[in-house]
Amino acid sequence: VDYICSHEEEPSIYSLIPAEFTWRLPKLASAGRLDRMSSGLLILSQSGPLIHRLISPKHHCERQYRVEVDTPLDIDSQAEKIAFEQGSIAIRDRKTNELVKCMPARLEYIDSTTARVWLNEGRYHQLRRMFQTLGKTVVGIHRESMGVVSLDPNLAPGEWRELSEDELRQLT
């Protein structure tokens, strides 16, 4: 939270990384982004093909999020779950302003205002906009996993670790 996935803007996620990693070429890039009001797992790499594999919808790299909304979810009718899983939610494309359907996504209710969501695509502020179409305002997003990599519960916000050889092998 409060950091930007950018090399140009501050405060940047790259300021959290030791200098010996930040001066390398090609530069580190993030696989997807988290907005300033979101938290959780980010994967950084110098490998363009790895980044592409993680973020391209055609590779089906599932991302898991915990999402908190401002008003109670409709757990009884499972309205949100049905809309997400049927792929019936449409949001505006930022470039064309046309409505585009989001890919089907899994949703699991955690409590009255919190859900876990699994996405295979990553559009600009997608979760916020998907819930907004259902009349909900997102007040918190936390990315818990990306592909085979789960956020290490022993890491404090802003801390990092290298991926294991096994994780890298499974991601490529």
Q: Reduce the secondary structure of the chain to three states and give it as a string.
A: CCCECCCCCCCEHHHHCCHHHHCCCCCCEECCCCCCCEEECCCEECCHHHHHHHHCHHHCCCEEEEEEECCCCCCCCCHHHHHHHHCCCEEECCCCCCEEECCCCEEEEEECCEEEEEECCCCCCHHHHHHHHCCCCEEEEEEEEECCEECCCCCCCCCCCCCCHHHHHHHC
Q: What is the CATH number of the domain that holds 30?
A: 3.30.2350.10
Q: Provide the pLDDT confidence category of residue 143 given band limits of 50, 70 and 90.
A: very high
Residue 1 has a pLDDT of 79
In the predicted model, is pLDDT for residue 2 greater than 90?
no
Residue 7 lies in a domain: no
The dihedral through the CA atoms of 38, 39, 45, 50 has a sign that is negative
Residue 33 lies in a domain: yes
In the predicted model, is pLDDT for residue 62 greater than 90?
yes
The torsion defined by the Cα of 132, 61, 144 and 81, in degrees rounded to 10, comes to 40
Residue 130 lies in a domain: yes
Phi-psi region of 155 (alpha: psi -120 to 50; beta: other; left: phi over 0): beta
Pairwise CA distance, residues 117 & 146, whole Å: 12
Question: Is 35 in the active site?
Answer: yes
Residue 58 lies in a domain: yes
Q: Provide the pLDDT confidence category of residue 81 given band limits of 50, 70 and 90.
A: very high
Q: What is the extent of the structural domain holding 17?
A: 13-152+167-171
In the predicted model, is pLDDT for residue 23 greater than 90?
no
Residue 110 has a pLDDT of 98
In the predicted model, is pLDDT for residue 55 greater than 90?
yes
In the predicted model, is pLDDT for residue 120 greater than 90?
yes
Marked catalytic residue, from 35, 70, 93, 152: 35
State CA 105 to chain mean position distance: 13
Number of domains in the chain: 1
Do 106 and 85 touch, CB atoms closer than 8 A? yes
Report for 27-31, 50-54, 112-116: range of highest mean pLDDT: 112-116
Residue 137 lies in a domain: yes
Residue 82 lies in a domain: yes
State CA 154 to chain mean position distance: 20
In the predicted model, is pLDDT for residue 172 greater than 90?
no
Residue 72 lies in a domain: yes
Residue 126 lies in a domain: yes
Q: Provide the pLDDT confidence category of residue 167 given band limits of 50, 70 and 90.
A: very high
